[in-house]
Chain A
């Protein structure tokens, strides 16, 4: 995986004391740092460029986050939800997946931002967890950014892993397509941290997951994390259908379980490629030759396009068979699918989001 080399780091005045800035100065010594009073001017310049999303990824903006850090994962209307909370410590991502929904979601806000007020983030999280000790939470940081891609530069895991390791009623999930785990290996997760990888065969990575770690790099990083005491998760999401996908995905599952100890895998999710009509428009402009635009996807009632149901159910069932052959007991769930699809794949559907969330919390 290539090093992240932004053209410039832009720091909002007031963020000078942040541990994130200290880490950036140390890890990116040759990169100019500019202090600004009003990041809005910089954001306007990015928005006005020809490719705001591309340009946004080549600059790093460090600024205070003014709203809530913690949010309930929005899920998708009519789909089975897994009752998940997200912490947005950053926004946007230095990698370039052709199918990434952030291209649409962050179209008006495309800067690569990291939030400097980490102490506020930890305080807000502590308040939630300590007020509700009877409840068990699952919290992730990989919703609108990659949890670890920037970690060698910003050192965020050093700030949050020790905090979460001491909380009795939470699992923190760090979700990534990178291999940037060095910062985790010296820390003690105390059973409270799941590091999870979005996995795809190398062919998909080569064609559509630009600037991410290779399959081998991700797998090796997962192995190192497991050795260091972390629980693991794997997200086969988005699954991509193409001639020969079965062979590639089956091999991928075999290779993962040949290296990692399946008894210490907290969960596995499956989800097929999802687009929206507006994301497709952006993909046509930014990645006009990607074959992902021509899969047999249809518009579903929640406004997302997926492979038509019999096709994707068939994909899930095959994938489940390969996973079960490698690990009969690992917990597998579907991401953003209806109860009908759950029934067709597993023969049952969780009765409510609490049930699924509780099952996952016990892992």
Chain B
């Protein structure tokens, strides 16, 4: 019955055979929980594969079932929040699962964003880091409509460079231990 329902959902959404085969290999309670999630969020294959990858890998790493992850304190409150629409739930559940799957990466990203906020930049100045921090570079964008405005932005950048935040961001990008806390033990 359950497997039939999974195959039906997969057919309806055009899932590849390999994706369905993987899904069907999970223990029954996990298969069912994943079906409930997929139906509730009406996920297409790409989102579902991300969710399945992360759930499986967190489960393997932490020795917990997929069902336990989905009913745990990170995901359940989002799932059962009546104020959230389907798209918001999908986005927040994916964010939360990514945080569970990549805890230290998300932590470093958070530390960088914290320092960017601490700089209290004008909206015309934007600092960004690459997706997943790969590349190790920081991008600085300035938007100005005139010469004087641009000079002002450069002055602000000079002041920012006098502070500690920018240096700390580069330290975080370089995996400097005192900030990143990379000891896995």
Contacts and interface: CB of A to CB of B under 8 A. Distances in A.
B185 A246 contact: yes
Interface residues of B, number: 30
B25 to A, nearest CB: 9
A255 B103 CA distance: 33
B102 A298 contact: yes
Interface in A245-259: 245-247
Contact of B175 (A247, A314, A338): A314
Interface in A296-327: 296, 298-301, 308-315, 317
Contacts of A329: none
Nearest to A299: B132
A244 interface: yes
Interface residues of A, number: 31
Interface stretch (B53-61, B120-128, B155-163): B53-61
User: Which of B57, B61, B108, B134 has most chain A Cβ within 10 Å?
Assistant: B134
Interface string A269-301: 000000000000100100001010110101111
B61 A309 contact: no
Contacts of A311: 104-105, 175, 180, 182
B27 interface: no
Contacts of A315: 175, 182
B174 A313 contact: yes
B105 A340 contact: no
Contacts of B136: 309-310, 313, 340-341, 344
B167 interface: no
B172 interface: yes
B133 interface: yes
Contacts of A296: 101-105
Contact of B60 (A242, A281, A294): A294
Interface string B173-185: 1111100101111
B184 A243 contact: yes
Contacts of A246: 183, 185
Contacts of A293: 56-57, 60
B57 A312 contact: no
B135 interface: yes
A294 B172 contact: no
Contacts of B61: 291, 294
A8 interface: no
Interface in B79-118: 101-105, 108
Contacts of B177: 314
A284 B19 CA distance: 13
B134 A309 contact: yes
Interface string B137-158: 1000000000000000000000
B172 A310 contact: yes
A314 B180 contact: yes
A300 B133 CA distance: 10
A241 interface: yes
